[in-house]
Structure 1
């Protein structure tokens, strides 16, 4: 069902996610992500960042509330349709790269299309590899690449089909500062060049400073929002949120069960 959320790429309305009895990872989150925006999502450990990303991307189902992804209401959608939606309309970038070691750079980039039974457009693939600075490495295996180059392959794989929405989960967590800056610049440029929407979960204030805005989560709720962020201001806000989401407060609301793994780090 197409719900036409006024052009938003992703929208969550009253999303709640509960694990077991009294462990609340998301507590009524309502949030919109406009098309062509770059948003960073931050928060203390156990704030619900990962759960938020999984629900927003259709990787997990909320306990209640609504998620609309690229105009599609996810509630009631079968697993088959969800899989097709994610494959065709969403790109994913993870900290661990998730490249297949036996495949070349080019084969890793085109793998999702091959699995979907689609023939990759070689011109588009070449353009993407050039854009991420790997046109001369297309025949290399992942084991022959640096960490930064491997993440560039992952970015090319996520962007090659020009999906409307890209979710990035700590995409620079395993990279040095210089390489991280290059990767973040690629993400920011893709937003500006193609109008794609990037939603990035990160713990790094410097990474968040590349975004157009930062959403702060604490204890499963939206705690703050910052536009045109700088690393210093983001770090200052995170310091305050760390105190606001202290374990004592969290345990009172979650019935004394505050396992970060269950609550969604």
Structure 2
């Protein structure tokens, strides 16, 4: 079984670990229908880092994100978020943890069409019963480049602008970590680049921790490092990625899977 610890380089080497997964295993189904989505993964994401998670379809990257965010429960192993272990928490406490400590950005923007930009951004605060600080909210909206459109509704915005609203909404609660699942999948190349640059700037300016699942080597190259998954196992990482180095590493994952499956077959004889 392959496990690894994700160590960041540079000035963040001594930073606290925001999210820690220890021997996380996730199995779906039983008997002949059993599927091991994660096979005992140990990995940590440090404060103030931007990490991309990549792997072929079925590699376990979305399951990793869902378990790390408390959206799914590991079959075994533990997840610690901002110093708090997730396992054993009631659904009510998990909901509060996700609301207060986690930001989410998805491929679909998930904005409420009847609300303005400002109202969509402040929605998490309203749901938590917290009065928005107008100056702070306006600062975040300006940070994502929508100061002139804060009274517009989603239908009056482009796809890229709607994703910027989603980013502002994720930032407004000052979460410990933001999980992004294919955040640029529905955007054109230029708009995607702008959104990814915005995410990177958030990491550097505010010490935000971002974990992003993506299938796109260009998107992954905006991260500080890339973690690769294959067959539910960690299959290496890459620091200071470029689109070319990420694409090359992705082509090697097939060899990793084949070698691992061959070892399993040999071991079972």
| TM, length-normalised to structure 2 | 0.89
How many residue pairs get aligned? The number is: 247
After TM superposition, give the deviation of residue 7 of structure 1 in Å. Answer: 1.9
Distance in 2 between residues matched to 1:249 and 1:137, nearest whole Å: 53
Match for residue 14 of structure 1 among 23, 46, 59: 23
Query: What whole-Å deviation, never above 9, does each CA across 1:102-159 have from its counterpart, x for those lacking one?
Result: 1111110000110111111100111011111101111111111100000000000000
Question: 1:241 Cα deviation (Å)?
Answer: 1.1
Alignment of 1:87-102 (within 5 A): 87-102=99-114
Structure 1 unaligned blocks of 5 or more: 1-5, 254-265
Equivalent of 1:44 in 46, 53, 56: 56
Which of 119, 123, 147 is the equivalent residue of 2:159? Answer: 147
Runs of 4+ in 1 over 2 A off after TM superposition: 242-246
CA-CA distance at 1:196 after TM superposition: 1.0
Q: Is this contact kept in 2: 1:12–1:66, CA < 8 A?
A: yes
Bigger relative contact order, structure 1 or 2, given CA contacts below 8 A and separation 6+?
1
Q: 8 Å contact 2:78–2:85 — kept in the other structure?
A: yes
Q: Is the CA contact 2:124–2:173 (under 8 Å) kept in the aligned structure 1?
A: no
- Report SS of the residue matched to 1:232: helix
Distance in 2, matches of 1:104 and 1:243, equals 49
1:66 matched residue in structure 2: 78
Question: 2:52 and 2:98 mapped to 1: Cα distance?
Answer: 20
Q: Give the superposed CA RMSD.
A: 1.7
Q: Supply the distance in 2 between the matched residues of 1:145 and 1:242 (Cα, whole angstroms).
A: 41
3-state DSSP class of the match of 1:40? strand
In the alignment, the residues of structure 1 paired with residue 108 and residue 118 of structure 2 have an alpha-carbon distance, to the nearest angstrom, of: 18
In structure 2, which of residues 184, 206, 214 is the aligned counterpart of residue 194 of structure 1?
Answer: 206
Match of 2:237, SS?
strand
Deviation digits for residues 40-79 of structure 1, max 9, x if unmatched? Answer: 0000000001100000001110000010011110111111
Q: Quote the offset at 1:242 in angstroms.
A: 3.6
Looking at structure 1, the residues matched to 84 and 133 of structure 2 have their Cα atoms a distance apart, in angstroms, of: 27
Q: 1:3 maps to which residue?
A: none
Instruction: State the 1:243 CA deviation.
Output: 4.7
Q: Which runs of 5+ in 2 are unaligned?
A: 1-14
Corresponding residue of 1:263: none
Q: 1:44·1:245 contact (CA, 8 Å) conserved in 2? A: no
How many angstroms does 1:163 deviate by? 1.1
Q: Name the SS for the 1:245 alignment partner.
A: helix
What secondary structure, in the 3-state scheme, does the structure 2 residue paired with 1:103 have? coil
Deviation at 1:161, TM superposition (A): 1.8
Tell me which of 120, 123, 138 is aligned to 1:108: 120
